[in-house]
A and B are shown apart, each in its own frame.
Chain A
Amino acid sequence: MLCNEAIVRGALEADVKVVAFYPGAPTSEVLDTFSDALDSFDYHMEIATNEKVALEVCAGASFAGFRSLTAMKSVGANVASDTLYVLGYTGVRGGLVVVIADDPHAHSSQSEQDGRFFAPSAYIPMLEPSSPQEAKDMVKQAFKISESHRVPVIIRTVTRVNHQSGVVQLEDMTRKEFKIAKWTELNEEFTTLGEVARRKKLKMLERTERLSEEFDSSEFNSMNGVDSEVGVITSSISYLYTLEALKILGLQAKAKVLKLGTTYPLPRKLMSDFVRGLKKVIVIEELSPYLEKEVYAVAKETNPSVSVFGKKSKTFSEAFEYNPDIVAKGIASALNMNYPDYGVILEEAKKLKSIIPDRYPTFCAGCPHRATFVALNQALRTEAAKGKKHYFANDIGCYSMWIFPPISRSDSSLCMGASVGVANGLSRTIEERVVAVVGDSTFYHASIPAIINAVHNDNKFTLIVLDNSVTAMTGQQSNPSTEFTAGWKQGKKVPIENVCKAIGIEFVEIIDSYEVKNNVEVFRRALEFDGLSVVISRRECALYGDRNKRRRGEPITPFHIDKNICRKAYSCLNTFYCPAYDLDEDRQPRISEEMCDGCSVCAKLCPYFSIKRVEAKA
């Protein structure tokens, strides 16, 4: 079972009643699994417009006494944090669990943010699983902790935990009927401000003390039985790397290991007892020295002479994710052991690999974004020829891939919706025309306040909304641009053009992404418009479209190139960069029929009309 599925299983075993999410790697499969299971259980599920709204949906349900769960990626927690911090003060009623998944190595994120710091700064307890089994157990327990202390509980994971599969022992799912509550009978208040906030702050501190004591004996913190003067303190995925590294080094029976599962508040007494009597303590955790600082504090009180190995000693780096080799090397260096440097293997491999081309993520065959960008680039070139240059503000979504070679074209790319925000400032400070781009999901998620700001302050730039009907990058989840909601149930569509027109934008045009030739002209007018111009480029995500076609039993008919007509003008290749294309031995462009999505865009670009749909086989 994938860890993200184990999280769902744990929540279902705990009788969760309300779940809400905004998708984001590496947590998207939590959403997808709940969505797939929706017909079989009686929980309420929403795919929310953003992480803050998702958390608030859950908080509302929790106030009414319902168990609720949300999961979000690291940077999603930034969006939700306004609400998260306040919930530490107001408290909750029904168990509220917040899964925050960090992404060390920035595999699919804009930063390597360490989300553990939300817990101490919001005074919200945090549990960190290492494996799918533990994730399931912790989610279950988190609901109990949440209810007994009236506080949300964070389950903090990292990509390598979320995307790890393993065997999980299942327990019963005893589920009660979903019965609407009566607020007037609950007699609660969830407020915080001024005097109330000050009172609640003191209670929050007391709660944290109680939790710290409780966590000293938590089942999620464990020690191996080894008696040694060398100890390792670790948590999360680093715990599994530690076990592997100790095996590699032959130290399994020679080092004490304290594995921490409750990482806020930290079990200080347990840590003190562990550090006492040690000569060396090695702290193994990815990213910031979060545990390490506490280890120094504990050591100062109980064992000042102990040597601490971690980030400060330069044994481990604060950058990037770890693996068994990095951990083994660190342990070996702390213990002055000889360990064959894995750098040699990597160097040798690197030499062999020098012949292979890079493979950057790119737009899928049939992706409407590629077609939109072809038209946009053409319009931008025409404008540039007239001396009108531009600034390109990229955003977060599949279109982010515009920054990768061979396309490589973005002046900025920050976080969800920020392209529109910075366009406001840039439009007032540079002479070039600013072009900002967002997807449909990003439009609803975090762009609307910045767009209203532009209208209100008369900021002049061009906004392109790439509307492909779904939140494509995270696996084609529905959003307000889709006629479906969670579990693919009927939902109400919120057309982007209606929003734009309602807030008073005068230039709003809708184009079909695949109609490249017509779109160039629309983009040109939008760029020249003296004001805020919005172009909505609409065409469903190719993967989503293909999935629907397969469901309906419709064929996907690829294109091929008629060699007799092709004059090798390479118009299809030069601007389009479709992964279904390559060249044969005669440098003749060729389409792989397995990969071609039949979108027809390249056919329209060929000046000799040599690209034709493959005839259906009889």
Chain B
Amino acid sequence: MSFSMFMSGVGGQGLVLITRVIGNACVRSGKKAITGEMHGLSQRSGTVFAHMRIGEDVFSPLVPYGKADILVGLEATETLRYIEYLKKGGTILMNSRIMHPPVETSRVLKGKGTKYITVEEIVSKLQQWTRNIAVIDALNLARDSGNVNTENTVFLGALSTLEAFPVEEKPLRESISEAVPRKTVEQNLMAFDLGKKTAFDSLCNLVPCRRRVDR
């Protein structure tokens, strides 16, 4: 069995970190994982993404088009930007946050009738690809954890509830504790739990989830 996931976001949201956390959690649980990441020029508030593949019979670090089981979007527009990687009817877990790029703001400012894109518009497009879409307010949950930079960890918590996601909660928590700055471990684990909770309340109404055990 193999599992493919595509993750995207905006440079600075910590995508590289969660890719590493999941990869390390796989190693902890004896699973083979490969990733295809993008570092460099793309980091500056530009679009960032990571391919993640878990299983014995995966070879390419890049997910073939239409083959990802899950599409994770740390930012709403960046979720739709990579829709071609998701299999039809696959699962989308995305942030309700939109970070409007300067080019869009500049357009809205100049054109009187021009409006910003909305989450509703994005979701309506995504629905033409799949009905399994969970939108979470990761930024607010991150704030609740006491560290606004933990949006990425909120997503890890949400992912951990999914039956299809091949990594268990325990190795994920261990990898998080190891990967994040020592001072922020507690906040990150809190963010993880908040992500888990919100997923049980939203995502898990759509797709099969693990048994709910609240901490």
Contacts and interface: CB of A to CB of B under 8 A. Distances in A.
A96 to B, nearest CB: 26
A28 interface: yes
A352 B125 contact: yes
Contacts of A352: 80, 83, 125-126, 128-129
A285 to B, nearest CB: 15
Given A346-B84, A473-B41, A581-B105, 4 more contacts: A2-B37, A163-B39, A361-B41, A579-B45
Contacts of B1: none
Contacts of A365: 45
Interface string A356-393: 11111111110000000000000000000000000000
The contact size tier of chain A is 35 or more
Contacts of A355: 80, 117, 121-122, 125
Nearest to B38: A163
Interface stretch (B26-34, B153-161, B170-178, B190-198): B26-34
B45 A474 contact: no
A241 interface: yes
Contacts of A579: 45, 99, 101-102
Contact of B60 (A163, A167, A244, A406): A244
A140 to B, nearest CB: 21
Interface stretch (A311-319, A453-461, A570-578): A570-578
A353 B80 contact: yes
Contact of A346 (B61, B65, B129): B65
Nearest to B39: A163
Contact of A349 (B19, B20, B78, B83): B83
Contact of A353 (B42, B57, B81, B139): B81
Interface of A: 2, 25-26, 28-29, 107-108, 131, 160, 163-167, 237, 240-241, 243-244, 247-248, 323-325, 328, 342, 345-346, 348-349, 352-353, 355-365, 398, 401, 405-406, 473-475, 570, 573-574, 577-579, 581-583, 587, 592, 594-595
Contact of B101 (A108, A241, A243, A362): A362
B19 A323 contact: no
Nearest to A252: B57
Nearest to B46: A361
A362 B59 CA distance: 34
A243 B107 CA distance: 45
B42 A108 contact: yes
Contacts of B145: none
A358 B101 CA distance: 8
B33 A243 contact: no
B192 to A, nearest CB: 19
A356 B80 contact: yes
Contacts of A573: 105-106, 109
Contacts of B109: 570, 573-574, 583, 587
Interface in B146-200: 148
29 contacts: A28-B39, A131-B34, A163-B38, A163-B39, A165-B19, A165-B34, A165-B35, A167-B27, A240-B60, A323-B64, A324-B62, A345-B66, A346-B65, A349-B83, A352-B128, A353-B80, A355-B117, A355-B122, A356-B117, A358-B101, A359-B45, A359-B77, A359-B81, A361-B11, A361-B43, A361-B46, A365-B45, A405-B103, A583-B105
Given A346-B65, A357-B117, A361-B42, A582 B60 contact: no
Contacts of B44: 361-364, 398, 401
A582 B100 contact: yes
B14 to A, nearest CB: 12
Contacts of B38: 107, 163
B190 to A, nearest CB: 18
Given A160-B36, A349-B84, A357 B103 contact: yes
Nearest to B149: A594
Contacts of B27: 167
B47 interface: yes
Nearest to A352: B125
Contacts of B122: 355-356
B207 interface: no
A365 B101 CA distance: 12
A10 to B, nearest CB: 18
Nearest to A367: B44
A346 B66 CA distance: 9
B206 interface: no
A165 B23 contact: yes
Given A164-B61, A167-B27, A167-B32, A362 B77 contact: no
Report the 8 A-B pairs with minimum CB-CB distance, sorted nearest first. A25-B40, A361-B46, A108-B41, A349-B84, A243-B59, A244-B60, A357-B104, A108-B40
Contacts of A131: 34
B17 interface: no
Contacts of B19: 165
B209 interface: no
B135 interface: no
Given A345-B66, A352-B129, A401-B44, A164 B35 contact: yes
